[in-house]
Amino acid sequence: MPSIVVFASGSGSNFQAVIDAARSGRIPASVAGLITDREGIRAIERAREAGIPVRVIPPGEQPGRQNFAGALLDALNTWKPDLVVLAGYLRRIPPSVIRRYPGRIINIHPALLPDFGGEGFYGMRVHRAVLEAGRETSGCTVHRVTENYDEGPILEQVTVPVHPCDTPETLAARVLEKEHELLPRVIRNLLEGERSSASGNSAAPSSQSQS
């Protein structure tokens, strides 16, 4: 069975959506591990509750003078994932890690990329910027991770309405609900697409927009 490693830095509700989808068989994969950059976050508790191993790798120099990229690669090498999922991970993935897993790292972003993406667009800042720009719609995007922040090929997006009375928090909650459906669906499509191309069937992953 294919395996997934998730990176998260916070609450881990998307991580939980992946765990639940794998458990129920909606994703044809197992979750091999969680990598995080900090202690004390809810994502770690979720991993422990689910019996999933955790590696906490803070940025900067590591024990034994290993660098950040080396420590990430070491952890990934332990689990040898078929797919790496960034689900609310707040660090830039070093280029050497991206090169080691070409096309196999995906990220979920809480806006309709290419708008409201890139350096500095994370968490509530994204939703605040959408409201300040007066947009009537927002949404979420899953894309492949490349060396250019938030710029990799888009796999799928879901659109949600922005209401006149929205605050960043109400908009974030509406988007997050859609993220929890989108992320497992994209993972399933990718893994099933690979499975059928391995068996000679050329089904491609989906890239349509939904609302």
Q: Which residues are catalytic?
A: 109
Contact call for residues 86 and 7 (beta carbons, < 8 A): yes
The Cα 8–Cα 17 span in angstroms is 13
What minimum distance in Å lies between the beta carbon of 11 and ligand GRF? 4
Tokens of 77: 């090498």
Q: Interface mask (CB under 6 A) for ligand GRF, residues 135-174, using x and -?
A: ----------------------------------------
Residues in binding contact with ligand GRF, number by CB under 6 A: 14
* Number of Cβ within a 10 Å radius of residue 170: 14
Q: Looking at the DSSP assignment, which residues form a beta bridge with residue 154?
A: 143
Mark residues 25-54: x for contact with ligand GRF by CB under 6 A, - for none: ------------------------------
Residue ranges in the chain assigned as alpha helix (H): 13-24, 42-50, 68-79, 95-100, 124-132, 168-198
What token pair was written down for 165? 């009375």
3-class DSSP state of 64: helix
Q: Binding ligand GRF by CB under 6 A: which of 2, 3, 13, 91? A: 13
Window 82 to 111, contacts with ligand GRF (CB under 6 A): 87-88, 108-110
> Nearer Cβ to ligand GRF, position 10 or 152?
10
**Burial zone of 73 (CB within 10 Å; 0-12 exposed, 13-18 middle, 19+ buried):** middle
179 is a contact residue toward ligand GRF (CB under 6 A): yes
If binding is defined by CB under 6 A, does position 184 make contact with ligand GRF?
Answer: no
**In this structure, are residues 211 and 160 in contact, taking their beta carbons and an 8 Å threshold?**
yes
Least distance to ligand GRF from the beta carbon of 107, Å?
Answer: 7
In the bound state, the residue with its beta carbon closest to ligand GRF is: 88
Contact between 11 and ligand GRF by CB under 6 A: the answer reads yes
Least Cβ distance, residue 108 to ligand GRF (angstroms): 4
Sorted by sequence, the CB contacts under 8 Å of residue 52 that are 6+ apart come out as 19, 31, 32, 33, 34
CB closer to ligand GRF out of 156 and 179: 179
Confirm or reject binding of residue 117 to ligand GRF (CB under 6 A): no
Residues that bind ligand GRF (CB under 6 A): 8, 10-15, 87-88, 108-110, 176, 179
